[in-house]
Amino acid sequence: MRRFWLHNHSCMKTNQKISGQLSRRVLGMRAAVQFLTTLAVVAGARAGLAQTAPAVSEVNGQIGYAGGTMDSFTGNNLDASITLPVSHQTGFQADTLYSRIGAENFYGGAGHFFWRNPDLGLVGLAGGYISRSGVDTFQLGAEGEYYLGAFTLGAFAGLGQVNYANAAPFIDTQPTRFIGRVSADYYPMKDLRVGLGYV
């Protein structure tokens, strides 16, 4: 499982740029929907196989930090997640985020409920939220992963919305868009991931 966030650099843009980024994500929607549908069919076909490994073997978590500069702004990001088993084949992951970029503070949270077969893949529902003064951003949709040896193919498809506290002329202050994301990752070692993504 990976953390579920809007790209942090979008938080650093103006309100108009945030809306534009959500609009562009619709380009990956068809590929994401097709991937999730195929994964669900494959998972159903294999559901009758012998007992599989658990979706989540034990409660686990991680903490991360990232920092850097963009458009002359300095950013610092702290994030954490915890994953726990719900049943043998299902699990839940909770994420939290705090970022300070320039003079702005960003707060976020996300949750995933998923079915997972460690030898096959993952299908689940995910939702996330990021807020800063005057702007709230939401995502809700379905996610999936398909495992091919050391490779993992991933996708997300759903809806995204940006809410602006203050009205602005000629700008939709509550835009809602279909969004999609596809990715391909390679694990040369168990805890080392190299990947590509498109949103």
Cut 0.75: pTM above it: no
Give per-residue pLDDT as tens, 140-173.
Answer: 999 999 999 999 999 999 999 998 888 777 677 7
| Confidence category of residue 190, pLDDT binned at 50, 70, 90 | confident
Using alpha carbons, select from 65, 97, 61 the residue that is nearest to residue 82.
61
User: pLDDT at position 32, please?
Assistant: 54
Instruction: Please give the residue that has the higher pLDDT: either 166 or 128.
Output: 128
Determine the Cα–Cα distance for residues 138 and 125; give it in Å rounded to an integer: 14
Domain positions in the chain are 8-198
User: For 87-96, 123-132, 164-173, which range has the lowest pLDDT when averaged over its residues?
Assistant: 164-173
Residues 25/18, Cβ–Cβ less than 8 Å: no
Q: In the chain, what percentage of residues exceed pLDDT 70?
A: 73
Token output for 94: 């909770």
Indicate the residue type of 44: G
User: pLDDT at position 38, please?
Assistant: 63
User: pLDDT at position 20, please?
Assistant: 43
Determine the Cα–Cα distance for residues 194 and 152; give it in Å rounded to an integer: 10
Q: Which CATH architecture has domain 8-198?
A: Beta Barrel (2.40)
